[in-house]
Structure 1
Amino acid sequence: MRPTLGINGISANTPVIAVDIPNKQGIKSHEWQRYIVTVDHLEQETGYDFLPNIPESIQTRLESQKATLNS
């Protein structure tokens, strides 16, 4: 990713992290990483299109990938 290029700096390899953290008591001790989901999941749950300005071929790949974090 090249931030100075704006949207033109985004590729199918740009990392995306989406999280769906419930708004409820008792999860404060949980690590946020347990709530990692795909952008597709969030779009389905919310009805929002989170990456509408990215070309469809790139958007499809980014939205379907679930982030993995290296410790």
Structure 2
Amino acid sequence: MLFILNKASEDGFREGRFIHNEDCVEKAAVLPELAFWIWNFVVFGSIFEALREGLVEMMSAQWIQGPDGMVDED
């Protein structure tokens, strides 16, 4: 990604268009960080969702059976 931005910057200088390289690098630095946060959201969100579902099933099973293993009538 950085190579492409540097190449675009060099082409801009050759054609007389000034592309500020620091802006390109700053924008390019945001993309990996954004990808990192999206990846964390997907991975940890699915892990937490699985844990939550397991906890809900465990709690509902305990509520139906009761702490002594007997089925609660009320």
TM-score by length of 1: 0.22
User: Which has more helix, going by share of residues?
Assistant: 2
Using structure 2 for the length normalisation, give the TM-score: 0.22
- Give the number of the structure with larger relative contact order, counting CA–CA contacts within 8 Å between residues 6 or more apart: 1
Higher share of residues assigned strand: 1
